[in-house]
Chains A and B, each alone.
Chain A
Amino acid sequence: MLTLIVLLPLLGFLLNGVLATRLGGNLVGKRFVTVVGCGLPLAAFALTVQALFELQGQGYAPLVETAYRWALIGGSEFEIAFYFDRLSAVMTLVVTGVGSVIHIYSVGYMAHDKSYGRFFAYLNLFLFFMLLLVLGRSLLVLFVGWEGVGLASYLLIGFWFDDLANARAGKKAFITNRIGDAGFLLGMFLLFYAVGTLDMDRINAAFAFTGASAPAVSASLVGILLFIGATGKSAQIPLHVWLPDAMAGPTPVSALIHAATMVTAGVYLVARMSGVYLQAPEASAVIAVVGVATAFFAATIAIVQTDIKKVLAYSTVSQLGFMFLALGVGAYGVAIFHVVTHAFFKACLFLGAGSVIHALGGEQDVRKMGGLARRIPITFVTFAVATAAIAGIPPLAGFFSKDEILWYALASTSGGSPLLLLVAAATALMTAFYMFRLLWLTFMGPSRMDHEVEHHVHESPWSMTGVLLLLAMLSAVGGFIAVPHFLEPQLPLPQISEALHHLHKPLLVLSILLALAGLAGAAVLYGGAPDRVEALRERFATAHRWLSNKYYIDELYERFIGQPLVWVSDRVFLRLSDRLVLDGTLDGLGALGRSSGDALGRVQAGKLNLYLWFVMIGIVGALLWSWRHV
């Protein structure tokens, strides 16, 4: 049954990919694509729910299903096996559930696109690989899924590849991912070397032993290497540069891949390998620091962005940072909880942005929006609910997960510290601020739209607004799904230091206050006259420039990594190795042959004297030889 869950989207990819594209000659129409493209993921979701009941039925002992044996090398077996336990259940439900509704949304969004079939084929392909990733038993299957979602991401970011910038964004995503994968692979090699298997449950069990029977490799080293892979996939510093550029793809893609599911693969990886990270305090500390730094850093950039999708992109990076912060202090279940709530509200936000863009006929700059609240009410309401959720206003979903993260950042005995809390709290404040800024600029206030655009503003079709409503509802009530409690038998929550026990309630109040402060700040600045914002921008012009240009990180990479690599490729590999050494050797050998031929040819000078001199020497040689042998 697990195998069927994984294979249904693959079937969708094959059917739509062959029949509905130019490859197969456009044999089928849109209805077929819709039915296959949305129906198969929904079927996968239904099967997942059934699997969950089965899991419950057998007391949460993990379901294991081996599809087939891939390779037998030496004494080690490599199988394609699927593993369903509490963690996989949560992830798979999110992937298939949120994935299915986003598919339904795409029916409306991409209705007028000329490559309708190809889009659904790619989406189903992505779903297939993502399910491989979350259901795989061994790191090998996970890695196949890892690479596959990277491929699907590349294909979908560059979906409208007629514009070269989109293709370049797709390339950037893929290549940045690959850099992280180098670390991932090294971690895999070390694990295999130390433990002898790549099955994740066995690895976790092996690392549970300490002392003499512990695996012969530093858990921290493995932890850091795997985290490098996660940095690439989940857009943490320093490999975060691809996510904002990935907004070039269609909005459903941004929602599905770059908000709800693919970017959380890194979080899933670390949570799954919790057995290793429990033994690796140094690695966990690194993860926590990188996570909170990324969160802060991305939030600062989001404050000044003017593209609606870019704000959400940086917001995603920031929220992912929060998740890694939770992982770093040992609160694995809480991180997964935040994955779930984030999937709800971020998908709602992205799809809402898509609805706005659809309504405005393609406009994405918030400076040209405004006053949309009454024109597209459903979109406005759902967007507002999701914004409140991400800001952390109770009792919406984001409040619960974010509060847990802040609490464990302070109080966890495995890495919590006040400094982490400070930075995280500042980030939470900024999150609330920029999200409400976005809400105000897009929907409230006087309209700054072009007249042509304003004329055509209309609410989106039911396929889109229906999904928005569903996701908004989930953002509202999703916090009451006690995910950390559900996962606790498998992913235990960290210990709380005794001294800080009494700070739980005050921290709760603090987080509510931060959210409200962000709301108030945004309302004051953006609800009033625009010159107030202008004055602020002029006061902090330099800071504004730095933030708008994303701290010039892309330029930094280009200058210090890109250009030296190009130099090395050009000078060392092309000119030196290829032309000088390789071509030179071959040409040299040819020239050597030719010149030796010329030299030897001079023997035949046509001079009788020379020939007879050789005869003389030959006779001498023959006689000398005869002395020895005759």
Chain B
Amino acid sequence: MTAFIDGLLGSLDTLLLIVFSLCALAGATLMIFLRQPMRVAIALISTMVFLGGIYGLLGVHFIAAFQVLIYVGAVMVFMVYVIMLLEVRELGGTRYSRLLVPGLIGFVMLLGVVLISIWRALPAPAGASGAGGNTAFGISEFSIAFLNEYWLQFELTSVLLLAAVVAAMAVIKVSRRTDKTRPHG
């Protein structure tokens, strides 16, 4: 019975993986086609969520949590806020730039080259693919390692975020100064 459930779960794993992958790709494709930026944002959010699902299936649960927390919760919220702020009304016909056809051609070439590279570099192994080191991605191991071995990187991330904040404030200040000197038009 456990073997069956294991087997079923194994196959369920792969099935879900495939489904999540396809959905992520579908979201990404929609981003290219949708006209209004708000809808594009929604598509991106869906892609990110599905990616989080993939991370979960891979066993890196806390990474999945961070994906949704940071990417969707902070980054995409900010984007949506800006889209609403700018009240963009997309006019028809100006969706695509002049490089549509060259872009598509390049896209096909790029995809082809990368996929072929992947196929060449990593042929399908004989045995079943292992689930890999799940143990390393437990949250306790991660936290301990982060604050022990990689404490420098930790500090650097805080510095980076501080720098980002300072830069953002500088940008606002500059914009306020130039705003005052310009006549309202």
Contact between A and B in the complex (any CB pair below 8 Å): yes
| A interface residues, Cβ below 8 angstroms from B | 607, 609-610, 613, 616-617, 619-620, 623-624, 626-627
* Least CB distance, B26 to chain A, in whole angstroms: 22
- Pick from A607, A610, A623: contact of B113, CB below 8 A: A623
A613 and B113 form a contact (CB under 8 A): no
CA distance A623 to B111 in the complex (A): 11
- Pick from B97, B107, B117: contact of A616, CB below 8 A: B107
* Least CB distance, B116 to chain A, in whole angstroms: 8
Between A and B, 7 residue pairs with Cβ closer than 8 Å are A607-B97, A609-B99, A610-B99, A613-B99, A616-B103, A623-B114, A623-B117
B103 and A613 form a contact (CB under 8 A): yes
Give chain B residues whose Cβ lies under 8 Å from the Cβ of A624: 113
* Contacting residues of chain B (37-53) with chain A, CB-CB under 8 angstroms: none
* Least CB distance, B111 to chain A, in whole angstroms: 10
* Contacting residues of chain B (103-132) with chain A, CB-CB under 8 angstroms: 103, 106-107, 109-110, 113-114, 117, 120
B76-100: contact bitstring with A at CB < 8 Å (1 yes, 0 no)? 0000000000000000000001110
Further contacts, 10 of them, CB under 8 A, given A620-B106, A623-B114: A609-B103, A610-B99, A613-B106, A616-B103, A616-B107, A617-B109, A619-B110, A620-B110, A620-B113, A627-B117
Give chain A residues whose Cβ lies under 8 Å from the Cβ of B114: 623
B183 at the interface (CB under 8 A from A): no
CA distance A522 to B44 in the complex (A): 126
Task: Assess A617 versus B117: contact at CB under 8 Å? Given A609-B97, A609-B99, A610-B99.
Answer: no
Give chain B residues whose Cβ lies under 8 Å from the Cβ of A607: 97
CA distance A176 to B101 in the complex (A): 75
CA distance A609 to B114 in the complex (A): 21
The 3 closest A-B pairs by CB, nearest first: A616-B106, A623-B113, A609-B97
B109 and A620 form a contact (CB under 8 A): yes
Give chain B residues whose Cβ lies under 8 Å from the Cβ of A616: 103, 106-107, 110
| B interface residues, Cβ below 8 angstroms from A | 97-99, 102-103, 106-107, 109-110, 113-114, 117, 120
Give the one of B106, B107, B110 with max A CB within 10 A: B106
* Least CB distance, B27 to chain A, in whole angstroms: 21
CA distance A623 to B106 in the complex (A): 13
Give chain A residues whose Cβ lies under 8 Å from the Cβ of B102: 613
Give chain B residues whose Cβ lies under 8 Å from the Cβ of A610: 99
Give chain A residues whose Cβ lies under 8 Å from the Cβ of B97: 607, 609
Give chain A residues whose Cβ lies under 8 Å from the Cβ of B106: 613, 616-617, 620
CA distance A620 to B98 in the complex (A): 21
* Least CB distance, A115 to chain B, in whole angstroms: 82
Give chain A residues whose Cβ lies under 8 Å from the Cβ of B99: 609-610, 613
CA distance A624 to B98 in the complex (A): 26
CA distance A624 to B106 in the complex (A): 13
CA distance A610 to B97 in the complex (A): 10
Closest chain A residue to B108 by CB distance?
A620
Closest chain A residue to B113 by CB distance?
A623
CA distance A609 to B101 in the complex (A): 12
CA distance A137 to B120 in the complex (A): 91
CA distance A624 to B120 in the complex (A): 13
CA distance A613 to B107 in the complex (A): 9
Give chain B residues whose Cβ lies under 8 Å from the Cβ of A617: 106, 109
* Least CB distance, A409 to chain B, in whole angstroms: 95
Closest chain A residue to B98 by CB distance?
A609
* Least CB distance, A603 to chain B, in whole angstroms: 13
Give chain A residues whose Cβ lies under 8 Å from the Cβ of B107: 616
Give chain B residues whose Cβ lies under 8 Å from the Cβ of A619: 110
Give chain B residues whose Cβ lies under 8 Å from the Cβ of A609: 97-99, 103
Closest chain A residue to B120 by CB distance?
A627
Give chain A residues whose Cβ lies under 8 Å from the Cβ of B120: 627
CA distance A627 to B114 in the complex (A): 11
* Least CB distance, B28 to chain A, in whole angstroms: 16
Closest chain A residue to B100 by CB distance?
A609
CA distance A35 to B149 in the complex (A): 115
* Least CB distance, B126 to chain A, in whole angstroms: 25
CA distance A616 to B102 in the complex (A): 10
* Least CB distance, B184 to chain A, in whole angstroms: 28
Closest chain B residue to A607 by CB distance?
B97
CA distance A390 to B102 in the complex (A): 100
CA distance A624 to B107 in the complex (A): 15
Give chain B residues whose Cβ lies under 8 Å from the Cβ of A626: 117
Give chain B residues whose Cβ lies under 8 Å from the Cβ of A613: 99, 102-103, 106
* Least CB distance, A76 to chain B, in whole angstroms: 73
* Least CB distance, A606 to chain B, in whole angstroms: 13
Give chain A residues whose Cβ lies under 8 Å from the Cβ of B117: 623, 626-627
CA distance A2 to B171 in the complex (A): 102
CA distance A519 to B122 in the complex (A): 125
* Least CB distance, A604 to chain B, in whole angstroms: 15
CA distance A624 to B97 in the complex (A): 27
Give chain B residues whose Cβ lies under 8 Å from the Cβ of A623: 113-114, 117
Give chain A residues whose Cβ lies under 8 Å from the Cβ of B109: 617, 620
CA distance A276 to B102 in the complex (A): 85
* Least CB distance, A165 to chain B, in whole angstroms: 75
* Least CB distance, B101 to chain A, in whole angstroms: 11
Closest chain A residue to B112 by CB distance?
A620
Closest chain B residue to A617 by CB distance?
B106
CA distance A627 to B118 in the complex (A): 11
CA distance A295 to B110 in the complex (A): 96
Closest chain B residue to A613 by CB distance?
B99
* Least CB distance, A231 to chain B, in whole angstroms: 77
CA distance A540 to B117 in the complex (A): 108
CA distance A377 to B102 in the complex (A): 110
Give chain A residues whose Cβ lies under 8 Å from the Cβ of B110: 616, 619-620
* Least CB distance, A523 to chain B, in whole angstroms: 107
Give chain A residues whose Cβ lies under 8 Å from the Cβ of B98: 609
* Least CB distance, A193 to chain B, in whole angstroms: 70
CA distance A536 to B159 in the complex (A): 125
CA distance A616 to B97 in the complex (A): 16
CA distance A626 to B120 in the complex (A): 12
* Least CB distance, B142 to chain A, in whole angstroms: 32
CA distance A620 to B107 in the complex (A): 9
CA distance A620 to B117 in the complex (A): 11
CA distance A261 to B98 in the complex (A): 90
CA distance A607 to B99 in the complex (A): 10
Give chain B residues whose Cβ lies under 8 Å from the Cβ of A627: 117, 120
